[in-house]
Amino acid sequence: MHNKEQHPYTEWVDLAGRKLGGQVLSCSDDFFAEMENLIKPEAPVFIADKYTDRGKWMDGWESRRKRVVGYDWAVLKLGAQGRIKGFNVNTTHFAGNAPKQVSIEACNSKTAPDENTAWTVIIPQQDVQPDSNNFIDCESDGVWTHLRLNMFPDGGIARLRVYGEAVMDTDWFLPGEPVDLAFVKNGARPIKCSDMFFSSMTNLIMPDRGVNMGDGWETKRRRGGRECDWIIVKLAGTGSVKKLIVDTAHFKGNYPESFSLLGISMPEGQNPDENADWQPIVERQKLTADAEHFYKDEVISGEQTFTHIKLNMYPDGGISRLRVFGFLAG
């Protein structure tokens, strides 16, 4: 178990996050604090003098003190099915009321779990620390849609983060249908970037349009050095690129002057670096503030297939979303 403030899963997405469509479906008891708080995107806060008619207000999920043998649980639906790399069972501000131990079970189901669901233990029962980030690696290679978080015997957990990689639901697509190859819920993920000082690179491939300037990928102001900022995205699958959307929503005084898009095909399990033999997909194009930009005729890569793309952003700034539509190979 890791226990440090900066989480060790920066290259993975929070599969349970609300931005991805995660939900808390049910729980055994949330008398003191609602189960839905578990997946709030904001960091938990503490307000010393805030009380409700049930007791002290807490920013998390908190059950009653248990007076019988047993434990409490909460069932979550992931925003996208996926493979899990690690968890943060965050007990921040739960100092005298954190659980002693937790375990986590998982299942893969097209419908909401019920009493007949067969759960698989992916994190065995283990201690957690109060008022802490509790980082727990996950060794399971299964593809999961739902989780059951168990806390022993009772208490409160501020947030649950579920870091991993979405796996495309191929049953959803019709034969020959174009796919957003750079969409997080289809299995794309950012590998690395030159800089993400102001906001995370993961935002670039999230669902929907950005809600504000913080909901995009933004770099610091560059003062010399390299020609541009860049981000490398592992595509949802090997495919050819046919059109794309570059969205600068909310970036008004800090949008890039221009961008270009490149691609590369790598062997299974390998990721390129920024200096690899990248091939042009879209040559450098001007961008404007707070707008969606559509490119189809500008795509010059033809039937070439790629496993990764590299977006160059000149000279720096912020882009809210990137959509890369094309066809999966084979």
Chain segment 30-55, per-residue pLDDT in tens? 999 999 999 999 999 999 999 999 99
Classify each residue of 155-193 as buried b or exposed e, where b means 16 or more C-beta atoms within 10 Å of its C-beta.
Answer: bbbbbbbbbbbbbbeeeeeeeeeebbbbbbbbbbbbebb
The pLDDT assigned to 5 comes to 44
d(CA 258, CA 186): 27
Decide: 231 and 310 in contact? Cβ < 8 Å.
yes
For the residues 249-272, what does the mean pLDDT come to?
97
Count of beta carbons in the 10 Å neighbourhood of residue 244: 25
The pLDDT assigned to 6 comes to 61
- Predicted TM-score (pTM) of the model is 0.90
Decide: 247 and 302 in contact? Cβ < 8 Å.
no
Whole-number average pLDDT of the chain: 95
d(CA 258, CA 248): 11
The pLDDT assigned to 9 comes to 85
Chain segment 200-251, per-residue pLDDT in tens? 999 999 999 999 999 999 999 988 888 999 999 999 999 999 999 999 999 9
Beta bridge partners, 62, equal 33, 156
Write a three-state SS string for 114-178: CCCCCCEEEEEEEECCCCCEEEEECCCCCCEEEEEEEEECCCEECEEEEEEEECCCHHHCCCCCC
Decide: 14 and 84 in contact? Cβ < 8 Å.
no
Does position 7 have pLDDT exceeding 80, yes or no? no
The pLDDT assigned to 170 comes to 86
All structural domains of the chain, each given as residue ranges with its CATH number in brackets, are 13-166 (2.60.120.260), 170-328 (2.60.120.260)
DSSP assignment, residue 299?
A: B
The pLDDT assigned to 161 comes to 97
The pLDDT assigned to 268 comes to 93
Does position 3 have pLDDT exceeding 90, yes or no? no
The pLDDT assigned to 29 comes to 97
d(CA 115, CA 109): 13
Residue 10: which of 133, 189, 143, 185 has the closest Cα?
A: 189
Decide: 124 and 51 in contact? Cβ < 8 Å.
no
The pLDDT assigned to 2 comes to 43
Residue 96 neighbours by CB under 8 Å, 6+ apart: 130
The pLDDT assigned to 222 comes to 84
Decide: 319 and 228 in contact? Cβ < 8 Å.
no
Does position 255 have pLDDT exceeding 70, yes or no? yes
